[in-house]
Structure 1
Amino acid sequence: MRITIVGNFGCGNLGDEAILSGLKTLILKKHRGAEITVLGKGKLLPIGLRSFLKSLVQWRLWSQPLHALKEADYVIIGGGGLFTDEESRRGTVLWTLHGIVAHFMGRKVLCLGVSIGKMGWLSTQLAKVLFRRALSVVVRDKKSLDRSLAWGIDAALAPDLALANDVQLESSEVNTASEKYVVINLREFKNYNEKMIQLFVQLADFLVADFGYKIVFLPLSTDAHSDSYILNKILIQMKHSEKAEVDDEKDTIYEIVNLMCGAELVISMRLHGSIFSILAEVPVLPIAYMDKVKNFWSGEQLKVTPLSVESITLEVLKKDVLEHLNSRERMQRNMRDYKKELAVRFDPVTRPIL
């Protein structure tokens, strides 16, 4: 069996790489001998201006992805927040094009583990065209499911594909022996400004001064919007910078999850920072900078409420941090119970792959 996976891979975003790894895990558990080809950065159809001009003299930029689509028994579009105009309108066009081309080649197209965010008229129509021609559509949050059903798409719901990664946690004895710390991940976003920097400078100093915690700033992306830039800006402005560090050496799911496993709390702006905390079984305070963060948590049984960047204040941050620290054991139990149900909840992802 040959399967081609199309998505936002190879761009330095550890969340997307975790999605790919989780999807491969699910496929290979059901079909051990499956041949998997990945179309990500540098391997997708060249529809961008620069890549298109380059393709005029390098035909392989067209022939290689077309061959990968044509030779596949199944073409999977996913997963993650692929269908939204919040960061770029180009994305929906790109993913739809691959799916439609594969469909007209007679391939079985699956849209798996995706979410649907805010889109304009054109992107909405393109997404509808793709979903109506797909053999299966599986979304990762309730709002995306409701939107799909409103379009007349018989979609199914499953957890984010990153949660399919089977990460072995280090023993609690190792973690409790280390210095107590809080993991913080932030990223640049549309309305990011200096006020937001100062807010987290004050929060980090508060956690050091009042609790004695070490602060581990954790970048989860090395792409054009590298997290390290904003995290280093916070670090150098802290009064207690000697009790903080930017750990930019963790570049695998195993390393990230086990770093979080020993933390008292994870505060994350990136969606997959908070998803990794589920794998690590550590309380998380998500910061919602896009609808996909709010939508993911709104339908999850863990009952975690993200803070919106539009209304965040230092007082609100402190209050929520204290509440999460005080309910740490309860949240950990909830996460363990949630993880036990994951195997069954992923069934819609692999069911159509015969």
Structure 2
Amino acid sequence: MKKALIIGLSGFNLGDEAIAVASYVELKKKYDEVSVTTVNPGTLEKYGIPEVILSRKSISSWRNIFREIKSANTVYIGGGSLIQDKLGIGLLTGVLSFFLQMVILSKILSKNVRTLPIGADELKTKTGKIYAKIATRILGEINLRDEESSDNVKRLASNKTNVYADPAYLLKTSEHIEKNNRILVSLVYENIDFTTLKKINDSLISALKSKENDIYYIAMEKREEDELSLYKKLNIPENKILTPNTIYEAIREIRSSKILIAMRLHALILGHGHTPLLGISRTTKTAAFCKEGHVPYFDLTDLPSELEKVIPVMINRSLSDFEIQKKAASEKTRLANSFFDDN
């Protein structure tokens, strides 16, 4: 019996959930048994996916992970931005140390270990660079989701890098999705000044509020301290806040909207080619996506002085370039499929 283990951090963020679900669906075509780690019990169970509970501070969880790796033929680590240090880094904190630990443990157990197509940021700390060099050296070959991630890895090590696309591109729904009159907004509170976010939201409302436009907000993060806390602070009415429970609910909300304006990377990925997009870049991963996906965007570090006047211009550009966005999304879907064909 062939068994695969996917080691990731799904649990609270719908982007991580999208990667886990899409990867499980694809790998089940090749393996008899596939299990997936989660930091929040029940997250993947609702999709019928066998869960392995991950708690980095629990000895019993480490024992369980050890057994799961030992029993697997192939270990897939990812996805998301695993090579990054902007959210902190320590022995038991930060995603990069988690990535390194899983790579080392899999190699100690002599397993065939691969990364799902992951993101790699430009690292800012000495510890981050050391951890990344060790992990990439052990792997020898690394799979990445965009060219910018590949360039960042090559600056650190001489690894062979394979550029594919995020597995979330492969998520499908069987139903036909009708378009509505909503403009859907996805904001992020994580490590961003509230004044900046309020300026963006005020500009969006000023630019788009009309009888023809119905503005809604989607929470891609389930924890109260992020989007839900931000939307409350921005005084968004509760009936204008969408809180999808599953990734398929999120897909329906995103793809039924007439326009998506988003900071969350996976909101953009799930809408790419289905809904005209306007990106708000807070990290290199969002900027890289927008450049490769032909999506107009503005950067948090360089907001236009008259943002409310710029927004309609950028939306019109997105509408006129929608066919180009669809072609770019089709190519990304092909690359995501190629990963599972090759691995």
Identity %: 20
Between 194-203 and 142-151, the greater mean CA deviation after superposition: 194-203
Mark the CA change 1:195 to 1:109 in structure 2 (over 3 Å): closer, same or farther: closer
Residue 170 of structure 1 is aligned with which of 171, 176, 183?
176
Q: How far off its partner does 1:117 sit?
A: 1.0
Alignment of 1:252-291 (within 5 A): 252-278=246-272, 281-291=274-284
Q: How many residues align?
A: 324
Residue 310 of structure 2 is aligned with which of 319, 323, 329?
319
CA separation in 1, counterparts of 2:166 and 2:118? 8
TM superposition score normalised by structure 2? 0.85
CA separation in 2, counterparts of 1:159 and 1:321? 30
Matched, 1:118 2:122: yes
Q: CA RMSD in A?
A: 2.4
Q: Which runs of 5+ in 1 are unaligned?
A: none
Q: How far off its partner does 1:125 sit?
A: 2.2
Residue 242 of structure 2 is aligned with which of 244, 247, 272?
247
Q: How far off its partner does 1:348 sit?
A: 4.8
Mark the CA change 1:81 to 1:103 in structure 2 (over 3 Å): closer, same or farther: same
Partner of 2:10: 9
Mark the CA change 1:219 to 1:347 in structure 2 (over 3 Å): closer, same or farther: closer
CA separation in 2, counterparts of 1:64 and 1:195? 43
Partner of 2:98: 94
Partner of 1:105: 109
Partner of 1:344: 334
Between the two structures, name the one with larger relative contact order (CA 8 Å, sep ≥ 6): 1
Between 130-139 and 93-102, the greater mean CA deviation after superposition: 130-139
Partner of 1:39: 37
The secondary structure found in structure 1 opposite 2:54 is coil
Q: Spell out, residue by residue over 1:208-255, the C-alpha distance to the aligned partner (whole angstroms, 9 max, x if none).
A: 23x63111111111126431111232244xxxx69x71122x222322
Larger Rg: 1
Q: Spell out, residue by residue over 1:3-36, the C-alpha distance to the aligned partner (whole angstroms, 9 max, x if none).
A: 11111111x100110011121222223x1x4311
Alignment of 1:103-252 (within 5 A): 103-119=107-123, 120-134=125-139, 136-150=141-155, 151-168=157-174, 170-171=176-177, 174-175=178-179, 178=180, 180-209=181-210, 212-223=212-223, 225-236=225-236, 245-248=240-243, 250-252=244-246
TM superposition score normalised by structure 1? 0.83
Q: Which runs of 5+ in 2 are unaligned?
A: 41-52
Mark the CA change 1:317 to 1:283 in structure 2 (over 3 Å): closer, same or farther: farther
Q: Spell out, residue by residue over 1:288-343, the C-alpha distance to the aligned partner (whole angstroms, 9 max, x if none).
A: 11222123333x1x322431112224623542333323551531x22332343345
The secondary structure found in structure 2 opposite 1:8 is strand
CA separation in 2, counterparts of 1:7 and 1:44? 9
CA contact 1:198–1:234 (8 Å) conserved in 2:
no
Partner of 2:76: 76
Mark the CA change 1:318 to 1:233 in structure 2 (over 3 Å): closer, same or farther: farther
